[in-house]
Amino acid sequence: MTKQIGIIGAGVMGANLARNLARHDFEVAIYDRDAHKVKALHGDRVFPTYTIENFLGTLESPRRIWLMVNAGKPVESVLDDLKPYLAAGDVVMDGGNSYFKDTERRMRDLAARETHLISLGVSGGAEGALHGPSLMPSGAREAYDVVSPFLRAIAATTADGEPCVTYLGEGGAGHYVKMVHNGIEYALMQAIAEIYDLLTRCGGLQAEQVATLFAEWNTGVTASFLLEISTKILNTHDGEAALVDLILDTAEQKGTGRWASQNALEVGRVVSMMTSAVEARIMSAHKAARVQAAKILPGPQPTRRKVNELINAARAALCGAMVIAFSQGFDLLHGASDEYHYSYALADVAHIWRAGCIIRANILDEIRVAYRVGLDHLLLSESLRETVAQCQTGWRDAVTRGVLGGVPLPTLSAALAYYDSYRSERLPSNLIQAQRNFFGAHSYQRLDRAGNFHTHWGAELTKKR
């Protein structure tokens, strides 16, 4: 009996996706170079295979092949193994965190063989893969139509019953959207961590006390999966100690946050929260240097005063930072749609992030509504504009307390600087243009007359009267 879909990669994500598909009555073939992983998956509607030839031979035509292997060389290697056997009309889905430009190159290569590659962002972690992920597919429309019934069946569903998957257009848009998703994820995680740091160092709160606050704050604009799991983390103990206090303070990264930050420079959009979050992880990796520096570099000691005011300020800062994190992410998506001719609708992106994915949050309901009316930027949304207006006083207070107490808040302060820059009618770039003209003869423009200008600086330009 032929199988309807096949998965290559029997790690945690691939295995759970196979179980998810089987639970929805699909017959699934699975293959992995590690035979032990495959053997462990034998069960109802999941059929282990041990060679590429056997795997492909079990699939009905056109063959639907879902890759769940690490980005980079592993994807290239698996595609090289598949190419000799692929037939016209077969559809391969890359569900890893591949770089979108690599995906588009691979799409062109397979298209020359009349085979399709779907760029498929997958979010939700192991639990999401098993119970319902957020899925971000792009590629040829006819290829998406072949796999759409499978994706829609297993995707997470929103409170109104809609599956968190939609066609995002051609090209590598699926992996691009997932890259931005991960950049927002970096920003939100770092912002929450900074709030925790501020409350413990300047407020003297213990982990479980911060957990209580996070549980209270997990409503309205700040309600989110990441705040929810942070509450559970901070409430977990190992003996008498909070487990989080025993974890080494060095955070790893797999590249997607860095890619989003780098790509934003190419597209010409500001994602300062993502960049600050990536840099914070880089700084955390220099543990030995930080330990040594802490012994010799002077700085202020955090003062623990007016704790209730600090708590209110911290909540306001989290609210403002959450709005800015999504604002920057969607602004990057907006810029990329112009730069790379992607056709996704931003309201649709907000929709598929409403459930299943790591950055799911209440604010996405407002974002979806805001983009349905054709906004250029989320901060111009009436409801989100009012939200920031209400929280900005406390937000500024929180950042000030961090600065005065020597507590680093790179992401919270970057978010505030972004907000202040975006609302500034005039920025000091006039002086920068004058500096460029001084040393490099780069021309500048004036407010009072049209044209491009160059000045011999230091000379008297107009006679004094």
pLDDT 10s digits, 203-234:
999 999 999 999 999 999 999 999 999 999 99
C-alpha–C-alpha distance, residues 197 and 280, integer Å: 13
- pLDDT of res. 461: 66
Nearest to 174 by CA among 129, 132, 128, 143: 143
CB atoms within 10 A of CB 113: 12
Contact 221, 323 (CB under 8 A): yes
Q: Is the pLDDT of residue 309 over 70?
A: yes
* 238 and 117 in a common domain: no
pLDDT 10s digits, 228-258:
999 999 999 999 999 999 999 999 887 889 9
C-alpha–C-alpha distance, residues 35 and 12, integer Å: 14
Q: Is the pLDDT of residue 346 over 60?
A: yes
Q: Is the pLDDT of residue 110 over 50?
A: yes
444 domain residue, yes or no: no
C-alpha–C-alpha distance, residues 292 and 413, integer Å: 26
Please enumerate in sequence order all residues whose Cβ is within 8 A of that of 337, keeping only pairs 6 or more positions apart, or say none. 343, 344
* 98 and 192 in a common domain: no
Q: What is the mean pLDDT of residues 59-67?
A: 96
* 215 and 191 in a common domain: yes
What's the pLDDT band for 30 if we cut at 50, 70, 90? very high
- pLDDT of res. 248: 95
Range of the domain at 359: 178-422
Q: Is the pLDDT of residue 462 over 70?
A: no
C-alpha–C-alpha distance, residues 66 and 6, integer Å: 6
- pLDDT of res. 413: 98
C-alpha–C-alpha distance, residues 224 and 14, integer Å: 26
Q: What is the mean pLDDT of the chain?
A: 94
C-alpha–C-alpha distance, residues 101 and 90, integer Å: 22
Pick from 171, 200, 218: which residue ends a domain? Answer: 171
- pLDDT of res. 304: 81
* 203 and 76 in a common domain: no
* 183 and 142 in a common domain: no
* 36 and 12 in a common domain: yes
Least confident of 29-43, 177-191, 290-304: 29-43
43 domain residue, yes or no: yes
Q: How many structural domains compose the chain?
A: 2
Question: Which phi-psi region, left, alpha or beta, contains residue 269 (left: φ > 0; alpha: ψ -120 to 50)?
Answer: beta
Tokens of 20: 């998810």
- pLDDT of res. 465: 43
Q: Is the pLDDT of residue 311 over 70?
A: yes
CA distances from 388 to 321, 382, 396, 419, 423 (A): 9, 10, 11, 9, 12
400 domain residue, yes or no: yes
Contact 200, 207 (CB under 8 A): yes
* 189 and 160 in a common domain: no
What's the pLDDT band for 303 if we cut at 50, 70, 90? confident
C-alpha–C-alpha distance, residues 230 and 209, integer Å: 12
Tell me what percent of the residues of the chain surpass a pLDDT of 90.
90
438 domain residue, yes or no: no
* 372 and 223 in a common domain: yes
Burial 157-170 (b: 16+ CB within 10 A, else e): ebeeebbbbbbbbb
225 domain residue, yes or no: yes
Q: What is the mean pLDDT of residues 277-289?
A: 96
Burial 240-273 (b: 16+ CB within 10 A, else e): eebebeeeeeebeeeebbbbbbebbeebebbbbb
The CATH number assigned to the domain holding 163 equals 3.40.50.720
Q: What is the mean pLDDT of residues 26-35?
A: 93
* 134 and 187 in a common domain: no
443 domain residue, yes or no: no
Pick from 171, 188, 211: which residue ends a domain? Answer: 171
Q: 237-238 and 134-138 as β-strands: parallel, antiparallel, unpaired?
A: unpaired
Please enumerate in sequence order all residues whose Cβ is within 8 A of that of 341, keeping only pairs 6 or more positions apart, or say none. 171
- The distance in angstroms from the start CA to the end CA of the chain is 97
Contact 94, 119 (CB under 8 A): yes
* 362 and 306 in a common domain: yes
269 domain residue, yes or no: yes
Q: Does 62 sit behind a cis peptide bond, omega within 30 degrees of 0 on the bond before it?
A: yes
- pLDDT of res. 125: 93
* 111 and 227 in a common domain: no
* 213 and 321 in a common domain: yes
Active site residues: 178, 185
- pLDDT of res. 412: 98
Q: Is the pLDDT of residue 199 over 80?
A: yes
The CATH number assigned to the domain holding 320 equals 1.10.1040.10
Q: What is the mean pLDDT of residues 360-377?
A: 92
Residue 294 CA to its chain's centroid (Å) = 32
Q: Is the pLDDT of residue 447 over 60?
A: yes
461 domain residue, yes or no: no
- pLDDT of res. 143: 96
